[in-house]
Amino acid sequence: MSTPYPFTAIVGQDDLRLGLLLNAVSPAVGGVLVRGEKGTAKSTAVRALAALMPEVDVVSGCRFSCDPVSPDPACPDGPHEAGSGVSRAARTVELPVGASEDRLVGALDIERALAEGVKAFEPGLLADAHRGILYVDEVNLLHDHLVDLLLDAAAMGASYVEREGVSVRHAARFLLVGTMNPEEGELRPQLLDRFGLTVEVSASRDTDQRVEVVRRRLAYDDDPAGFAARWAQEEGELRERIAAARALLPHVVLGDRALRQIAATCAAFEVDGMRADIVMARTATALAAWAGRTDVLAEDVRQAALLALPHRRRRNPFDAPGLDEDKLDDTLEQNSGEGDGGGDDPDPDGPGGGGPPPQGDGPDTPPQPEAGNGDTPGLPSQGRRADGDEQQPVRAAEPFRTKMLSVPGLGEGAAGRRSRARTEHGRTTGARRPEGALSKLHLAATVQAAAPHQRARGRSGRGLVVRRDDLRQATREGREGNLVLFVVDASGSMAARQRMGAVKGAVLSLLLDAYQRRDKVGLITFRGRGADVALPPTSSVDAAAARLETLPTGGRTPLAAGLLKAHDVLRVERLRDPSRRPLLVVVTDGRATGGPEPVALAARAARLHEAEGTASVVVDCESGVVRLGLAGSLARDLGGTAVTLDELRADSIAGLVRDVQGTNGSNRRAA
């Protein structure tokens, strides 16, 4: 887009604009993560910020944008002599979701490095973004190892490329901005912590504001240059204010009172480590400079907390982001003693960055017992509730740490932490000829391939002569993420004996495990007359937990319908993502009622999954002294394994699903 949308023309989104501007004033703040639904000006604001950034002076011809006043002594294009350079606009570099590691950090020509001893290095996106903006849209969809490399470079201000002892280092200091839609999955807590600030954005519900957004956007689309010209004065004033705040920043004093308030706030909200304290201090200092002051006030500390703490205080993946602002104000008030740095009371009407408080659980009302499953042979008749009768949602029991359930065989899916797979990162298991560009050199195999040809190549004693045909790429084995599809029995038989709370707690525990192992999850429930896809397969484990919390119970047990619905969902997902292997987790007591021959129909549906080699686990929810073992029969039909709720957290089921391959024999599909 030749003419970016003016930053000052963005309607609303105060927190988003403030977070970006603070990083423009002080890149040491550490970047900003923008979380929000689609269509909320996230990308527009980031691209518009680039036009406000001051121009940078660079060494002419340097691919790494060295500062001519103090060039990087380790620059791969150097050494450079200090002197005058050329001015250019600060760059905005976008990292696409599908980028490779070499595209991000750069590529080293291994063949020339081994044969000629030279470091032939092609810079990557980190080098292009040096002294500019690196924008990562959908950062939560990047592979974990790319996010690790990205955030390490942002923290250290440098990028390192190493290939079998040959290394290249170059400066990589940039304003890091990531955007994401939480519905598509969360970042790991360790990665969330590496972003300095976070802001939540959403579309305004105010009619007048929405009208103004549409009016301005249509005007811009009709005449981008003319629209930008109408906002040129506001853009120029904002650009000058950024430059003035940058100049004032070194003179801002962070006094003892503000420091105590920062430390007390981080302690009160139980954030881990010290990074939050440091980021809050830098943010409060930038806020003071942005306001044209040289002292940090309590209102700066308060605003800094609202921007720097929400993504750090989450104790588990299902906690809603945001801060308790009353608690924040109380903490600041209690630590507002006399000091030499600022003293205003916190502004109760100051802008807030926290999200909404977590939604409360459903009423903790025990479900009424279902009157029976008399349609199943051998079961006592207790009467029956009408199909479709619903119970109030039951509160889930406290989640616990589960044993790892994995898919047998060796897959090739997306990087994760569940099942064995061929991956780009992991332990080396062998070598092969590279297909396309060489990524991970297997040095021993390369030397072994080149050694027999040295006499024919006229080796002169100066070293091993290596040619491209000799290069061998390491094959590595790591872990992949899977599609964990939950099929949950929500019928009246589960509500009887008040088991649904324990069942929800178990599923919640498995969801937490799926989050930590970087899986996709889906949720199917069956009750009454059929089965429903409560949540299509998604990377948002939070969404699955929310659907589980409001799950009603009651009615008959259409087990076959649940299994058939799961079969349909898995069929579609195999077409969408063939490399991601599924793990079917059926949570039920194994009973089947309703319709003709419900037990036989459920068995036939289960054998469809067994025939396709779908790894499966049945979580047996049956309780009481007399147990019928129906879940075990279902697991045998599925070609999987049954485990009770108690065994789900016991040491006795370690490697449970890995052993399923022996149960299935040749029917088990291996990737």
Cis ω for the linkage preceding 79 (within 30 of 0) = yes
Query: At residue 480, what are phi and psi to the nearest 5 degrees?
Result: -115, 160
Residues forming beta bridges with residue 94, ordered by sequence position: 135
- The pair of three-digit structure tokens given for residue 319, joined into one six-digit string: 């906690």
The H-or-E segment that residue 113 falls in is helix 110-116
Residues forming beta bridges with residue 643, ordered by sequence position: 619
Of residues 322, 302, 307, the one with CA closest to residue 258: 302
Does 302 qualify as catalytic in the annotation? no
- The pair of three-digit structure tokens given for residue 551, joined into one six-digit string: 């799950």
The residue from 103, 275, 497, 669 that is catalytic is: 275
Helices (H), 177-274: 189-192, 207-222, 224-230, 232-248, 256-268
Distance from C-alpha of 508 to C-alpha of 554, rounded to nearest angstrom? 20
Cβ-based neighbours of 190, under 8 Å, separated by 6 or more: none
Distance from C-alpha of 623 to C-alpha of 152, rounded to nearest angstrom? 50
Provide the strand spans (E) within 402-449.
Answer: 415-423, 427-432
Of residues 544, 536, 598, the one with CA closest to residue 565: 536
How is the beta sheet containing 197-201 ordered, strand by strand? 92-94, 133-137, 175-180, 32-36, 197-201
Taking phi over 0 as left and psi of -120 to 50 as alpha, with beta for the rest, 660 belongs to alpha
The DSSP secondary-structure symbol of 488 reads E
Distance from C-alpha of 45 to C-alpha of 27, rounded to nearest angstrom? 17
Query: At residue 58, what are phi and psi to the nearest 5 degrees?
Result: -130, 155
Task: Catalogue the active-site residues.
Answer: 275
